[in-house]
């Protein structure tokens, strides 16, 4: 068997380790790693390097070519006025968002492929740091035709939703630090990340464009603490969430090699909540055993020119929050959309402007219902303007900065802002992010 | 004297510029190449796109396609994507990254130099890549688009 590993990987990893080591030695890595842990992190990275590259230096042909190893590492810094994101960002700078992923792709036979990705993520008070299997799957090509193919996947699968959900944690694959939050909520990310189950997929290429269809069914994660306030109207609930089997479907159409992209995505998600005895909402109404069902429908469009990229997505979401049925409601429709324009000033320097809006209940855009439930009105909406700059230093190193002017707190993480009455309706967010990939 | 030399030097620079542009464009004019085992067939730009974006995975003889590329910031790579695939490098990168980091596919193997590309294509059955000019190697042939 030929032994080969793509030599760029070794070079980039080596450069990466050198930089991490240097940063660690000089500064304790800016608070990202405690000084005492620098040595061990360096040791881990060096260990990884040694494992992957025994006697590498001269010849980098190490792994069989059927194996592909890729990964990324992202560190974000945030400062806000008023509310907190990714830790204590108000009146300070929070280094609160760290994402590290490593994936392996293995193709033992022509039609069978295995792929898995491990993800470490630390996100302010929402997630103090955890490792999870992001995806782990077997992919079998059932049918391959001159103009297309069809197949099945099984295992833990990423959920196809909109333009970005499948790679939402990979900084390089989207233009700004924060994805449009009205659609790609960080709060409900555990529901949307990946699901354990199976999928059918089909691709068909024609002279008039390429069609791509995915149908996924599976069980999303049960870790729904971050959406307690939204679905239960309290952040103190300690009962148990249980997700039910979910469906996700996506049909996309790409013209001229992705110059124009159109997609429709639909999800059907549901979960039960079993309260502990005596639990109540903010305003003292007892919680009951209830089911919440969410069905978002998302339309996406993108134009990718040489220098200009224009993107728009429109989200229409049916909600049925069982816990609110006792108030004589619980059924409502959430509406969110954004438009975004990016311009490549240089091939490696991209400027982006975006306007994003969300109304949790499209028939109550001012938040009167939220007030009745014991919240400030501004939890019911958010409008934000985003201005961002992205610089791709090399194909594997990227830095970007952005400013957001936000009106409303609909997507503000609850764990970082435990008391909704201490949040501000109008606030600013500044972000800086470094990312590496191989 | 000055009034005479100025236009001359202008011409000189113009000619030099044209020669330079010609030289550079020649230097980076990409040619798609395949291993000699790849079946002869009428391939279109759409086929080439589908192959290099990793959507088309098998040749007509059912052998899996092995795709090799150079780094994103390599001039020949940029020229190849633009002139042979009629795409932009960022579109191709988007397609590869989406597959690589979502588990839905894999990216091509990235090589460092044209020399490595010659070695790879010559020694790997069913392989495809690109070079600035077709080398004189019996295991490598041009991949003509129709």
Q: What percent of chain B has pLDDT over 90?
A: 73
Q: Which of A295-304, A393-402, A410-419, B133-142 has the lowest mean pLDDT?
A: A410-419
- Band of pLDDT at residue A326, cut at 50, 70 and 90: low
What is the arithmetic mean of pLDDT over A352-367? 95
What is the arithmetic mean of pLDDT over A21-49? 42
What is the arithmetic mean of pLDDT over A227-243? 79
Q: Which tops the pLDDT comparison, A64 or A21?
A: A64
CA distance A318 to chain B (A): 27
Q: Which tops the pLDDT comparison, A29 or B127?
A: B127
What is the arithmetic mean of pLDDT over A349-366? 95
Using a CB-CB cut-off of 8 Å, the residues of chain A touching B94 are: 173, 258, 304
Using a CB-CB cut-off of 8 Å, the residues of chain A touching B66 are: 65
pLDDT at A353 over 90: yes
Contact B101 A141 (CB under 8 A): no
CA distance A386 to chain B (A): 22
Helix (H) or strand (E) holding B120: helix B114-123
Contact B46 A6 (CB under 8 A): no
Instruction: Report A:334-393 residues touching B (Cβ under 8 A).
Output: 344, 347
> In angstroms, rounded to a whole number, what is the distance separating the alpha carbons of residues A429 and A123?
16
Nearest CA in chain B to A100: B101
What pLDDT is recorded for position A166? 97
Q: Which tops the pLDDT comparison, B138 or A61?
A: B138
Instruction: Report A:385-404 residues touching B (Cβ under 8 A).
Output: 394-395
Contact A258 B91 (CB under 8 A): yes
What is the arithmetic mean of pLDDT over B100-108? 95
Q: Does A141 touch chain B (CB under 8 A)?
A: yes
Region of residue A284 (left: phi > 0; alpha: psi -120 to 50; beta: else): left
CA distance B7 to chain A (A): 34
Nearest CA in chain A to B85: A257
CA distance A70 to chain B (A): 7
Q: How many CB atoms lie within 10 A of CB A258?
A: 23
Using a CB-CB cut-off of 8 Å, the residues of chain A touching B64 are: 110
| Two tokens, residue A16 | 């990466």
Q: For the domain covering B30-142, report its CATH number.
A: 3.40.190.10
What pLDDT is recorded for position A153? 98
Contact B50 A205 (CB under 8 A): yes
Question: Among A254-258, B12-16, B23-27, which range has the highest average pLDDT?
Answer: A254-258
- Band of pLDDT at residue A41, cut at 50, 70 and 90: very low
Q: Does A110 touch chain B (CB under 8 A)?
A: yes
Q: Does A36 touch chain B (CB under 8 A)?
A: no
Using a CB-CB cut-off of 8 Å, the residues of chain A touching B107 are: 68, 70
Contact B100 A103 (CB under 8 A): yes
Nearest CA in chain A to B81: A257
| Two tokens, residue B39 | 């079946």
Nearest CA in chain A to B70: A8
CA distance B129 to chain A (A): 15
Beta partners for residue A341, in sequence order: A310, A353
CA distance B91 to chain A (A): 6
What is chain A's Cα-based Rg?
23
Q: Does A35 touch chain B (CB under 8 A)?
A: no
Q: Does A108 touch chain B (CB under 8 A)?
A: no
Instruction: Report A:2-31 residues touching B (Cβ under 8 A).
Output: 6-8
What pLDDT is recorded for position B12? 59
Q: Which of A111-120, A156-165, A267-276, B30-39 has the lowest mean pLDDT?
A: A267-276
Contact B88 A304 (CB under 8 A): yes
Q: Does A196 touch chain B (CB under 8 A)?
A: no
Using a CB-CB cut-off of 8 Å, the residues of chain A touching B103 are: 103, 105, 115-117, 135-137, 139, 157-158
Q: Does A119 touch chain B (CB under 8 A)?
A: no
Q: Does A116 touch chain B (CB under 8 A)?
A: yes
pLDDT at A142 over 90: yes
Q: Which of A108-112, A124-128, A190-194, A302-306 has the lowest mean pLDDT?
A: A124-128
Nearest CA in chain A to B67: A65
pLDDT at A4 over 50: no
Considering only the beta carbons, identify the residue of A107, A144, A167 that sits closest to B101. A167
Interface size between A and B, measured as CB pairs under 8 A:
98
Q: For the domain covering A66-437, report its CATH number.
A: 2.40.160.10
- Band of pLDDT at residue A18, cut at 50, 70 and 90: low
Question: What is the three-state SS of chain A?
Answer: CCCCCCHHHHHHHHHHHHHHHHHHHHHCHHHCCCHHHHHHHHHHHHHHHHHHCCCCCCCCCCCCCCEEEEEEEEEEEEEEECCCCCCCCECCCEEEEEEEEEEEEEEEECCEEEEEEEEEEEECCCEEEEEEEEEEEEEEEEEEECCEEEEEEEEEEECCCCCCHHHCCCHHHCCCCCCCCCCCCCCCHHHHCEEEEEEEEEEEEECCEEEEEEEEEEEECCCCHHHHHHHHCCCCCCCEEEECCEEEEEEEEEECCCCEEEEEEEEEEEEEEECCCCCECCCCCECCCEEEEEEEEEEEEEEECCCEEEEEEEEEEEEEEHHHHHHCCCEEEEEEEEEEEEEEEECCEEEEEEEEEEECCCCCCCCHHHHHCCCCHHHHEEEEEEEEEEEEEECCEEEEEEEEEEEECCCCCCCCCCCHHHCCCEEEEEEEEEEEEC
Domain boundaries of chain B, sorted by first residue: 30-142
What pLDDT is recorded for position A43? 46
Domain boundaries of chain A, sorted by first residue: 1-65, 66-437
Considering only the beta carbons, identify the residue of A8, A158, A258 that sits closest to B110. A8
pLDDT at B66 over 70: yes
Sort A115 into a burial class: Cβ within 10 Å, 0-12 / 13-18 / 19+: buried
Contact A205 B46 (CB under 8 A): yes
What pLDDT is recorded for position B13? 61
pLDDT digits (tens, 9 = 90+) for A83-120: 998 888 888 888 889 999 999 999 999 899 999 999 99
Q: Which of A122-126, A181-185, A284-288, A314-318 has the lowest mean pLDDT?
A: A284-288
What is the arithmetic mean of pLDDT over A135-141? 97
Measuring CA to CA, which residue among A413, A347, A390, A412 is closest to residue A127?
Answer: A413
Contact A110 B64 (CB under 8 A): yes
pLDDT digits (tens, 9 = 90+) for A395-410: 999 999 999 999 999 9
């Amino acid at each position: 068997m030929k032994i080969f590993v793509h030599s760029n990987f070794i070079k980039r990893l080596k450069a990466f380790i050198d930089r991490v080591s240097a940063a660690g030695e000089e500064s304790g890595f800016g608070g990202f790693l405690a000084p005492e842990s620098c040595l061990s992190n360096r040791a881990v990275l060096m260990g990884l390097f040694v494992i992957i590259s025994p006697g590498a230096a001269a010849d980098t042909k190490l792994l069989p070519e059927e194996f592909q190893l890729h990964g990324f590492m992202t560190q974000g810094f945030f400062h806000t006025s008023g509310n907190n994101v990714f830790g204590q960002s108000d009146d300070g700078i929070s280094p609160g968002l760290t994402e590290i992923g490593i994936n392996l792709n293995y193709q033992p036979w022509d039609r069978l492929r295995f792929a898995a990705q491990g993800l470490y993520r630390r996100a302010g008070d929402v997630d103090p740091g955890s490792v999870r299997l992001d995806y782990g799957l077997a992919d079998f090509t059932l049918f391959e035709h001159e103009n297309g193919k069809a197949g099945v996947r099984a295992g833990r699968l990423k959920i196809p939703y909109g333009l970005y959900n499948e790679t939402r944690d990979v900084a390089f694959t989207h233009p700004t630090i924060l994805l449009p939050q009205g659609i790609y909520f960080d709060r409900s990310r555990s529901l949307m990340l990946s699901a354990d189950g199976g999928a059918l997929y089909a691709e068909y290429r024609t002279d008039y464009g390429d069609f791509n269809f995915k149908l996924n069914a599976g069980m999303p994660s049960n870790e729904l603490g971050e959406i307690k306030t939204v679905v239960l109207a309290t952040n103190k609930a300690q009962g148990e969430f249980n997700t039910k089997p979910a469906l996700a479907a996506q049909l996309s159409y790409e013209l001229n090699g992705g110059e124009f992209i159109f997609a429709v995505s639909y999800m059907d998600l549901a979960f039960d909540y079993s309260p502990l005895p005596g639990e109540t909402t903010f305003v003292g109404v007892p919680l009951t055993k209830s089911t919440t069902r969410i069905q978002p429908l998302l339309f996406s469009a993108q134009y990718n020119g040489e220098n200009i990229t224009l993107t728009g997505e429109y989200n229409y979401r049916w909600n049925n929050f069982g816990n609110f049925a006792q108030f004589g409601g619980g059924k409502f429709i959430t509406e969110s959309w954004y438009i975004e324009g990016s311009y490549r000033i240089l091939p490696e320097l991209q400027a982006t402007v975006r306007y994003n809006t969300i109304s949790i209940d499209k028939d109550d855009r001012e938040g009167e219902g939220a007030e009745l439930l014991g919240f400030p009105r501004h939890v019911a909406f958010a409008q934000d303007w985003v201005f961002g700059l992205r610089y791709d230093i090399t194909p594997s190193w990227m830095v970007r900065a952005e400013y957001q002017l936000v009106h409303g707190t609909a997507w503000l993480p609850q764990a970082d802002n435990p008391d909704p009455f201490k949040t501000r309706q109008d606030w600013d967010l500044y972000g800086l992010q470094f990312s590496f990939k191989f | 004297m000055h009034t005479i030399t100025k236009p001359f030097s202008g011409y000189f620079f113009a000619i030099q510029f044209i020669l330079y542009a010609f030289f550079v464009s020649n230097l980076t004019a990409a040619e798609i190449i395949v291993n000699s085992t790849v079946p002869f067939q009428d391939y279109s730009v759409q086929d080439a796109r589908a192959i290099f974006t990793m959507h088309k995975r098998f040749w007509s003889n059912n052998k899996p396609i092995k795709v090799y590329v150079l780094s994103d910031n390599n001039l020949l790579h940029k020229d190849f994507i633009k002139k042979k695939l009629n795409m932009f490098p960022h579109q191709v990168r988007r397609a590869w990254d989406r597959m690589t980091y979502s588990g839905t596919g894999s990216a091509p193997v990235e090589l460092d130099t044209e020399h490595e590309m010659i070695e790879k294509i010559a020694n790997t059955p069913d392989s495809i890549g690109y070079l600035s000019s077709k080398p004189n190697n019996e295991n490598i042939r041009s991949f003509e688009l129709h």
